[in-house]
Amino acid sequence: MKLAPSILTADFARLGEQVTRAERAGADRIHVDVMDGHFVPNISMGAPVVKSLRQVTRLPLETHLMISDPDFFFEEFVEAGSDSFIVHWEGNNNLHRTIQRVKSLGKPVGVAINPATPAAVLEEVLPDLDLVLVMTVNPGFGHQHFIHSTLPKIRRVRRMIQQVRPDCELELDGGIDPATARLGVAAGADVLVAGSSVFGDPAGVDAAMSRLRAATEDMVNNEKGVLCE
Ligand code: DX5
Ligand code: ZN
């Protein structure tokens, strides 16, 4: 199971230090939530933050674009140091073109679906994807509760991936803590985004990361997507 700390709820006054701590604690990548106040009701960060983070970490910077018209911004983020992109199915009338655009820039591409969006919308684009992100909260904020009704959909996405694109990663985003991490991995997730449970833990980033890892380490994947305890 891979861990991708989300910096949305990190202390921005100490962002570089917090990301370095997460890297030392074994993070597999850093999840950067870009929000434009239009696609979601919040404004977060842009390419300048990616550029600064590029100076302090060698970890992949996964860029989750919760913005209208992501096509206008890929080059700027690539120049700043983004390593991969996640775009939303919602609100994108030209998703196939957007996916091809990211691929033409030589970057891995993922598609995110919100809690109300069925897995079936992925059918046509899944063969081209490196990652599917199942939102386990409604996008826009950290510190929200995991939506348990997304679990059956996670299982469906896992089955679709196995049939169509076995190398595609299945990532969950929102409300991940040690308890929901177990539920998510049992449903078939490969990668977990965690914000407040990593950067908001009073015991610190190291302890928080260890707790998340410990919560799933006894779950072995004996056949991709089929987990047993
Ligand atoms: C929400 C973002 C998430 C968020 C996760 O729209 O996409 O990445 O930061 O934060 P937690 O883990 O606190 O729910
Ligand atoms: Zn995110």
* Ligand 1 pocket test target in 15, 33, 133 with most atoms within 8 Å of CB: 33
| 220 beta partners | 228
Can you tell me which atom of ligand 1 is nearest the CA of 146? 14
Q: What is the pLDDT, as a whole number, of residue 219?
A: 81
Active site residue 218: no
Instruction: Tell me the residue length of the chain.
Output: 229
- To which residue do tokens 């407040």 refer? 196
Between the CA of 94 and the centroid of ligand 2 the distance, in Å, is 21
- Give the angle 197-200-201 at the CA atoms, nearest 5°: 70
Rg of the chain over CA atoms, in angstroms?
A: 16
**Structure tokens belonging to residue 38:** 């239009």
Between the CA of 103 and the centroid of ligand 1 the distance, in Å, is 25
CB atoms closer than 10 angstroms to residue 79: 11
Q: Considering every ligand atom shown, identify the ligand nearest to the alpha carbon of residue 9 and give its number.
A: 1
- Cα separation, 123 vs 84, in Å, equals 21
Q: What is the pLDDT, as a whole number, of residue 145?
A: 98
Q: What is the pLDDT, as a whole number, of residue 220?
A: 55
Three state DSSP letters for the chain: CEEEEEHHHCCHHHHHHHHHHHHHCCCCCEEEEEEECCCCCCECCCHHHHHHHHHHCCCCEEEEEECCCHHHCHHHHHHHCCCEEEEECCCCCCHHHHHHHHHHCCCCEEEEECCCCCHHHHCCCHHHCCEEEEECCCCCCCCCCCCHHHHHHHHHHHHHHHHHCCCCEEEEECCCCHHHHHHHHHCCCCEEEECHHHHCCCCCHHHHHHHHHHHHCCCEEEECCEEEC
Can you tell me which atom of ligand 1 is nearest the CA of 64? 7
Nearest CA to 108 among 67, 167, 160? 167
| 31 beta partners | 6, 62
Q: Considering every ligand atom shown, identify the ligand nearest to the alpha carbon of residue 86 and give its number.
A: 2
Can you tell me which atom of ligand 1 is nearest the CA of 40? 6
Q: What is the pLDDT, as a whole number, of residue 229?
A: 43
Give residue ranges with CB within 6 A of ligand 1: 6, 8-9, 31, 33, 64, 137, 139-140, 142-144, 173-176, 193-197
- Cα separation, 128 vs 164, in Å, equals 10
Nearest CA to 84 among 42, 115, 112, 56? 112
Q: What is the pLDDT, as a whole number, of residue 140?
A: 98
* Ligand 1 pocket test target in 29, 193, 211 with most atoms within 8 Å of CB: 193
Active site residue 33: yes
- Cα separation, 117 vs 217, in Å, equals 30
Closest Cα to atom 4 of ligand 1: 142
pLDDT tens series, the chain, 229 aa? 999 999 999 999 999 999 999 999 999 999 999 999 999 999 999 999 999 999 999 999 999 999 999 999 999 999 999 999 999 999 999 999 999 999 999 999 999 999 999 999 999 999 999 999 999 999 999 999 999 999 999 999 999 999 999 999 999 999 999 999 999 999 999 999 999 999 999 999 999 999 999 999 888 544 444 444 4
- Cα separation, 135 vs 114, in Å, equals 5
Can you tell me which atom of ligand 1 is nearest the CA of 7? 9
Between the CA of 167 and the centroid of ligand 2 the distance, in Å, is 21
